[in-house]
Amino acid sequence: MDFSWTAQQQQLRAEAKEVAADAVARYGWTADSWINGYCPPFARELAARGWIGISWPKEFGGAGRPAIDRMIIAEELIGAGAPVGSYWVAERQMGPSIFTFGTADQQQRYLPAILAGEATWCIGMSEPGAGSDLASLRTRAVRDGEDFVVNGQKIWTSFGAVSDFVYLICRTSADGPPHAGISELIVSMDSPGIEVRPIKDMAGGAHFCEVFFTDVRVPATNLVGVAGAAFKQTMRQLEHERGGIDRLVSNHALYRRALDRADMTDPLVRQEVAQLETRYRLGRLLVYREALGQAPKGFSAATKLFCTEHERKVADFTARTFGADAMLAGDVSRGLCYANSYTIMGGTSNILRNIVAERILGLPR
């Protein structure tokens, strides 16, 4: 075991802190900045530094650095509230999916724009009748000559209104068991037949959307990986999505402001801060273990659970610290509302508890 950072990683963290502080000074800070911080200019700046795709393999245009380096950057940027939203999903999840499962043509066509911070992607996964239950997806893509024709509806699609592409999880076959006929398609958001309706969330924001597909024609060459294999491919993506540092630091920027204001002479406040610091530090270790690939297989669901439950407690603490002021519209009340979403998106806590119990502990279904 070795919990030290290399000199290079320490340097990277120091640099990331500076970049984050500078971005916050110029663009302002956002809690949940990987969801609400849509800022293409900042994405292009990070791309110019080579920080987008830093852990992607060199052959696909990345820097080939270890995943933990990406965690260091993400932790400092999101922790400070720097606006990373416009490239986040693409860099974290879609790029790795495409370089892992995509064709050479797809890799050449889509990866450079992600690396340049110029493409925003969303994931068309959830449907009104299917959240974590992928096998019950109904949006279908039917082969017609050189194209697929897509019909259906997606919901809770983050960045749906501002994305260039949607990574669509849809049904391409009704034969066989329900999870066997699901495929992944890359769909340009300017395709005719796509309609996007932003959904106002409880905090008054509108990052997520409903996306409707009516006879949308998608070239068959946009199929990613093996037709019908999306269930398995998506599980790999969820490992990227679930076990990340973004799940721990969504409202860390807010927490820092709360700490500045907290009455640290109050023994109860001291106990609570100690609890939060403890869970935060341990959450980081669990996330780093994921990033190193040293966690048990499938443990990312448990890591996400640990981290997002912590995030909710941070929001509670922040609200209590701000007291009556937290009742007013603003960052604190937004954080208080948003805290409800961490434990829903990417799998609700109760579903994750089932997954962990069955897959890690081996408890019977």
Residues of this chain that bind other proteins (CB under 8 A) = 1-5, 9, 68, 259, 264, 267, 270-271, 273-275, 277-279, 281-283, 285-286, 288-289, 292, 294, 299, 302, 305-306, 350, 352-354, 356-358, 360-365
Please, what is the minimum distance in Å from the beta carbon of residue 75 to other proteins? 13
The SS3 assignment for 106 reads helix
Instruction: Residue 310: count other Cβ atoms within 10 Å of its Cβ.
Output: 21
Provide CB contacts within 8 A for 70, sequence distance 6+: 54, 55, 291
Nearest CB to other proteins, comparing residues 57 and 296: 296
C-alpha span between 294 and 159 (Å, rounded): 32
Nearest CB to other proteins, comparing residues 168 and 287: 287
Q: Which of 338, 309, 307, 167 is nearest to 244 (CA)?
A: 307
Nearest CB to other proteins, comparing residues 68 and 166: 68
Please, what is the minimum distance in Å from the beta carbon of residue 222 to other proteins? 38
Please, what is the minimum distance in Å from the beta carbon of residue 76 to other proteins? 16
C-alpha span between 219 and 280 (Å, rounded): 45
Please, what is the minimum distance in Å from the beta carbon of residue 270 to other proteins? 5
C-alpha span between 149 and 145 (Å, rounded): 10
| Residue 296 tokens, joined | 């048990």
Nearest CB to other proteins, comparing residues 136 and 350: 350
Apex CA 312: angle with CA 341 and CA 299, to 5°?
80
Query: Which residues form the catalytic set?
Result: 241
C-alpha span between 365 and 346 (Å, rounded): 21
Nearest CB to other proteins, comparing residues 265 and 324: 265
Please, what is the minimum distance in Å from the beta carbon of residue 10 to other proteins? 11
